[in-house]
Amino acid sequence: MLIRISLIIAIVAGLAAAGIGFVKVQEKLQATMTERDAEKKDKEVAQKDLASTKKTLKSTADDLATTKTTLATTKTALQTATAKADDLEKQKTDLTGQLTSAKGERDSAQQKLVIWDALGLSPDQMRATVADLKTTRQQKDAFVAENKILLMDNKKLNAKIDDLIGTDRPVPLPAGLKGNVVAVDPKYDFVVLDIGEKQGVLEKGEMLVNRRGVLVAKVRITSVAAERSVANILPDWKGKEVEVMEGDQVLY
């Protein structure tokens, strides 16, 4: 009897202990389920946030691509506009130059018109006057050339007259006449000059021989060719320490 009572007490105690453990397990299970539901909810929220972030990221990427395209288009348009601006600036510069040239031509034409008005001549009369002036100048040049020839002939005639009457005076030569000694014969005291009749050289004309600013001798022309002449060294200059050399300058 005592054993049965003890067994009953043990069974009751075991059931009591199991009941207490079941309550704790149930509480733990409830807490776990609550925590799971919270995590699930957090996960759903996180997934929603991730989806929203992905959507925002895609939208941003699309906006960036659109911006790049717009930037490239804008850059191309800017380059085109810059090229057009440069071309317009060049055209402006060219037109400015043409305008300046046209103004200059206009001013020149106006000045000519003023001159014509002042002279009381028409353009045809002015052209005729210019033509007459040109003809007059040509005639004058021909007269001057002919006068030079006549003067040269006159000098030649005077030289021949001096020969005939025995006059030994020097014959005048053209002012500023210059030449060079191209050959020297010290034995016979004569020199050859690189100037002649074309330059106005005449027989019996006298010229000074110069070397670097120093007077070397004095010569008299004895014969004249077209572009050469021969001259004798005058006796007063013979025997001087400085002798005439090729390359010395002669002048009148």
- How does strand 229-233 pair with strand 214-224? antiparallel
Cα R_g (the chain), whole angstroms: 63
Are 164 and 184 found together in one domain? no
Q: Residue 251: what pLDDT? A: 94
CA distance 229 to 186: 17
Task: Give the three-state DSSP class for 58.
Answer: helix
DSSP string covering 125-194, please?
HHHHHHHHHHHHHHHHHHHHHHHHHHHHHHHHHHHHHHHHHT--PPPP--TT-EEEEEEEETTTTEEEES
Are 71 and 99 found together in one domain? yes
- Cβ-count burial 53-82 (b if 16+ within 10 Å, e if not): eeeeeeeeeeeeeeeeeeeeeeeeeeeeee
* 114 within a domain of the structure (yes/no): no
Q: Which residues pair with 220 in a beta bridge?
A: 206, 232
Question: Mind listing the pLDDT tens digit of every residue in the chain (252 residues)?
Answer: 556 565 666 665 555 555 555 566 577 667 777 877 777 887 887 788 777 778 887 877 777 788 788 878 888 887 887 888 777 788 878 888 888 887 888 877 777 767 666 666 666 766 777 777 777 778 777 766 766 676 666 666 666 666 665 556 778 899 899 999 999 988 888 999 999 999 999 988 999 999 998 899 999 999 999 999 999 999 887 656 678 999 999 999
Identify each DSSP E strand in the chain by its residue range. Answer: 178-185, 190-193, 206-211, 214-224, 229-233, 249-251
Are 201 and 244 found together in one domain? yes
Q: Residue 154: what pLDDT? A: 63
Size of the chain, expressed as the number of residues it contains: 252
Q: Residue 6: what pLDDT? A: 59
Are 178 and 144 found together in one domain? no
Written as six digits, the tokens of 135 are 């003809």
* 246 within a domain of the structure (yes/no): yes
* 112 within a domain of the structure (yes/no): no
Nearest residue to 249 (alpha-carbon basis) of 173, 190, 178: 178
Q: Residue 18: what pLDDT? A: 53
Are 162 and 192 found together in one domain? no
C-beta of residue 185 within 8 angstroms of C-beta of residue 191: yes
CA distance 252 to 179: 9
* 237 within a domain of the structure (yes/no): yes
CA distance 33 to 27: 10
CA distance 248 to 194: 11
Maximal C-alpha separation, the chain:
207
Q: Residue 224: what pLDDT? A: 93
Q: What is the DSSP letter of 234?
A: P
Q: Residue 222: what pLDDT? A: 92
Q: Residue 194: what pLDDT? A: 96
* 113 within a domain of the structure (yes/no): no
CATH of the domain at 247: 2.40.10.340
C-beta of residue 181 within 8 angstroms of C-beta of residue 250: yes
Written as six digits, the tokens of 127 are 């052209």
Distances (CA, A) of 199 to 93, 100, 170, 178, 213: 55, 50, 18, 9, 23
Record the pTM. 0.39
Range of the domain at 10: 1-105
* 110 within a domain of the structure (yes/no): no
Number of structural domains the chain divides into: 3
Q: Residue 77: what pLDDT? A: 80
